[in-house]
Amino acid sequence: MAEDKDQTCKDGTYYGTGTGFGGTVKVKVVIKDNKIKSIEIVEHQDGSSYMQKASALISTVIEKQSTNVDGVSGATYSSAGLIEAIRNAVDQAKTTKTTGDNKKETEKKNNDTSGTVTPQVTGKFPYKDGIYYGTGEGYMGDITVAVVIQNKTVTSILVTETDGDGEEFVKKAKAVADQIVKKQSTRKIDTVSGATYSSKGILEAIKDALNHAKEATNGKETEKPAETETQKPAETEKPSESESSSESEKERVYADGDYTASATCTSSDGGAFDDYTLTATVTIKDDKITAITNVAGSGAGYVAADALYIKRAAEGTRKAQGVVAQVLAKNSLDEIDVVSGATCSSSALLEACRQALESAKIVQQSE
């Protein structure tokens, strides 16, 4: 096994368990010549289609001779349970390599435990066994992880979802999770050079998951991440005919309707990206901005990667409110904070909204 050079695995057949979406996942792992030869799913309580998807990772585990593998997209919980079960089985097969003076002592220990030795890294997390999910903020969006705890030990950490951070950066940043599994601590964990923000996002997500584990241990129920739904803007009540007719057009600043306008998004770093056009539609009702929709980029300088920045500017992050939410809350474009990491897109979106409001202004007739 490649996971720990100081340990070897004893030949044999071992059974391990983990927790999937629906309950216990049980596997049979065959070890021969210090290698995983085969893995078989013995039983599970997850949906067949999900476990079938998750089982695709078995070949990767055997190929890499490691349980530090990615879960399968679309079968996150089943993947986490399956990896936990495999790791549990492999842990039962582990023994410590012996040389020199400690050989006899180690052999005695092995004899006393019938050839089965517990993992060498002792657990430091006094939480209930289970899979706990947490979310942190990466460079371009949220990062979600699944942390597997067994016998007070973090046995596995999976990055289950990313929202915008590039695959190459997330792959590098996963070293943070490996450090925590090895050290059994979240203290003094080094971020990965070249993937600093993704590293910090993964670390924050792991700490969030451990906090959920603590709550669960203390009796507070934690829920698995629910499927996210796109919330529709709250419907505003239509004014009655009498209310509508009583308003004087002279008192109104904007005419009701949808107004689409554009602005140029220009790099503040002198060429970090090519200029492109950002367009947005502003909905006005009774002098109030009730929605900002259809926020998108276009033009010769626009590339697919710009969409991530536009989304960040419009929707914000876990820590920073987006431009759209701020404008709707204040019903104003004044004193709106730009979103860090998407300052140019934020500024362009605000300018597009200003142009839309200009189009919506009612021209007052002089007497």
Is residue 362 very low, low, confident or very high in pLDDT (cuts 50, 70, 90)?
Answer: confident
* Average of per-residue pLDDT across 77-83: 87
Is residue 224 very low, low, confident or very high in pLDDT (cuts 50, 70, 90)?
Answer: low
Q: What domains lie within the chain, and their CATH numbers?
A: 1-120 (3.90.1010), 121-219 (3.90.1010.20), 254-360 (3.90.1010.20)
* Average of per-residue pLDDT across 136-148: 86
Write down the pLDDT at residue 317.
Answer: 83
Q: Look at 207-221, 285-299, 330-344 and tell me which has the smallest mean pLDDT.
A: 207-221
Would you say residue 301 has pLDDT above 50?
yes
Would you say residue 241 has pLDDT above 70?
no
Write down the pLDDT at residue 101.
Answer: 47
Burial (CB count within 10 angstroms: exposed 0-12, middle 13-18, buried 19+), residue 296: middle
Q: Are 77 and 54 in contact (CB under 8 A)?
A: no
Write down the pLDDT at residue 349.
Answer: 95
The residue ranking higher by pLDDT, 73 or 65, is 65
Which of 71-85, 215-229, 300-314 has maximum average pLDDT?
Answer: 300-314
Q: What is the mean pLDDT of the chain?
A: 81
CA atoms of 62 and 95, how far apart (whole Å): 19
Would you say residue 333 has pLDDT above 90?
yes
Look at the block and give the residue holding tokens 């004893």.
10
Write down the pLDDT at residue 363.
Answer: 75
Q: Are 305 and 267 in contact (CB under 8 A)?
A: no
- Name the token pair of 366: 């002089």
* Average of per-residue pLDDT across 259-277: 86
Is residue 70 very low, low, confident or very high in pLDDT (cuts 50, 70, 90)?
Answer: confident
CA atoms of 364 and 15, how far apart (whole Å): 80
User: What is the full DSSP assignment across 247-308?
Assistant: S-GGG-SB-SEEEEEEEEE--TTSSSS--EEEEEEEEEETTEEEEEEEEEEESTT--TTHHH
- Name the token pair of 238: 């239509």
* Average of per-residue pLDDT across 229-239: 45
The residue ranking higher by pLDDT, 229 or 176, is 176
Would you say residue 273 has pLDDT above 50?
yes
* pLDDT tens per residue across span 86-140: 988 998 888 755 544 444 444 444 444 333 333 445 568 899 888 888 999 888 7
Write down the pLDDT at residue 108.
Answer: 44
From 348, 358, 329, select the one nearest 280 (Cα to Cα): 348
CB atoms within 10 A of CB 315: 17
* Average of per-residue pLDDT across 224-241: 46
Is residue 221 very low, low, confident or very high in pLDDT (cuts 50, 70, 90)?
Answer: low
CA atoms of 157 and 174, how far apart (whole Å): 9
* Average of per-residue pLDDT across 246-267: 82
Which DSSP category does 174 fall into? T
* Average of per-residue pLDDT across 76-93: 87
